[in-house]
Every structure is written in C-alpha cells, then in structure tokens.
Structure 1
Amino acid sequence: MKTPLVTREGYQKLQQEHDELWFNERPEVTKIVSWAASLGDRSENADYIFNKKRLRQIDRRVRFLRKRLAQLKIVDYAPQQEGKVYFGAWVVIENAAQQSKRFRIVGPDEIYHRKDYISIDSPMARALVGKQLDDDIEVQTPQGIQHWWVSAISYRTEQK
C-alpha cells in the first residue's frame, strides 16, 4: 500500500491534472465522439474508435485521481523539522567513494517524471527519516549494504 502523503505542490499538480482532463480535454473529446458517431457506421470510423478509447482513458484517470486525492494527506513544512530529514526534505548524501546524490523525499504519487524525487516508501528514504547532518546510514540494495552520510538538508521549494 502506498503511503498517502503528498507535498502541497504535489497535491496541486494532481488537482491540476484532474481539472485539465475533466474541464478541458474530456469535453473536447466528447464533441469529437459525438460528431464521429453522427457520420454513421461506427465500426470503421477511426475518429470514433480512437476518441472513444481516449474518452475511456480520461474517465479511468479521472476516477483514479478523484479517489486518490480524497485519500491523500498534505504535509507542509514545519519549523521544528529544520536540521533533520523528514517528508519534503531535499537531501544530499555522500559515500566513501566521493559519490554524491541529491533528491527530495516525497509521496509515491509525486515521483513520476522527476529523477530527483524519491518515495517516502523507498528503503533510502526510510533509512534517512529522522537523521541529521553527518549522520551515517546503511541502506540494503540489490548490490548489498550501502553506507552513506548526510551532507546537506534543506526544505526550500524548488521548481523544475
């Protein structure tokens, strides 16, 4: 089960996607389907077949978004989080080989299309929650146990 947490920005993006699909795209596709259906034989009408399929995709996504948005809990930054890694934090970690990784810990609904976001449900995020600067962490990966330390924590919002 996915953790039902989301940042305010993530919630707004999901809400915008819902509104775009429901108020803009769906009415346009519905008009095309109605027009194509009025032409007669629907079995060989590519406009009808394609747009009817697109309408089903939109409806499926809208149903999912409505259900998911009702389940999500928005987590806002709180000043007492400063200095520790919690939900919504930008974190930089390093290892002994001088490799560095930078990412933000967010809800599972926000990680798509962003390579610098990781889910709060991931092993790395679970290992990081509650840690402070210079704390060591161990993360079990398919390659074995990886050792990292926290080199930076920030809660400023960054847009991409």
Structure 2
Amino acid sequence: MMPRLSFAAAALGLACLAAGSASAQGVPPGSYLASCREARDVAGWLRASCRDRAGRWVEATIATSWCAAGNDIANEDGRLVCKTRSSGFGGPAAPGGERPPSGSYMQSCRDVRMVAGWLKATCRDMKGRWVEATVAASWCTAGRDIANIDGRLTCR
C-alpha cells in the first residue's frame, strides 16, 4: 500500500521541484518566482510569463545586469522590476547607472530602460497591443509627467 501525501506535502514537493528547475536553468532568484513561470535566461535577459493583477499570464523581461546582487527581482502587475533593499525603488538601474525617470507611463509600460539619455519601453496602445516607444528624457523638464498616450511616450 502506498502512503498518501497531504495536499500541503504535495505542494511543497512541487515548489521544490520548480525551484530546482529554475536554478538548473540559471535564472536568478527572486520573489518573481512565486507568480511567474517559464523563467529563462536569454543572452543576459530574464524572460518569464508572469501574472498581472487581472490574473492573466503576460510576457515580461528584464536585463539581469540591471539588478545588482542582493536586490530582489519582483513581479509588479506582470512586469519584472528590480527592488533595491534600501530604497524599494521599482525601476531598474541601467548598466551606466542611469535610472528611468518616474511617471505615469510605468503603469502601462514594461521593459523600461535608459539608452544614452533616451527612455525606451514597450507600452500598451489603446487596442491593447504592446508597441515600442521612445522619448528623450531631457525633453521632459522637472515637474512634468511622462505618460503613455496610445503607445507613445509623451511629456505633459
């Protein structure tokens, strides 16, 4: 007769198996593993399918080099973000130390990054599609909001 496993024991076993397969694939640890699946490293980019607030699975990416050792990679509404232990800042620092500016665009954009002074992101348009968007961060002076307007980054 085979022993019966409780649901909790079975769930713990599956969690350990999932954690083992994640580390075998070389993905970094982080709280995102609790709400993301199919995590994989693709040329220095962490890619995963993560749950958003509505419970849908959405594709998310972050450059692993943007999140320094000791910080947490977290899932925020289907976006992978780096959380520093000291500040709790949700935006990742780019390899040159350039941090993306804050703004309302962060609610509807993902893969946010700074490249040579340009803010780049993948943003939702009015039809729900993900489109590439870019704006010069210097164009938006202090006190103005960077917003996603139909998949375009604009200053207002």
TM-score (norm 1): 0.21
Task: Compare CA radii of gyration and give the structure with the larger one.
Answer: 1
TM-score (norm 2): 0.21
Q: Higher helix fraction: Structure 1 or Structure 2?
A: 1
Q: Higher strand fraction: Structure 1 or Structure 2?
A: 2
The structure whose RCO (Cα within 8 Å, separation 6+) is larger is 1
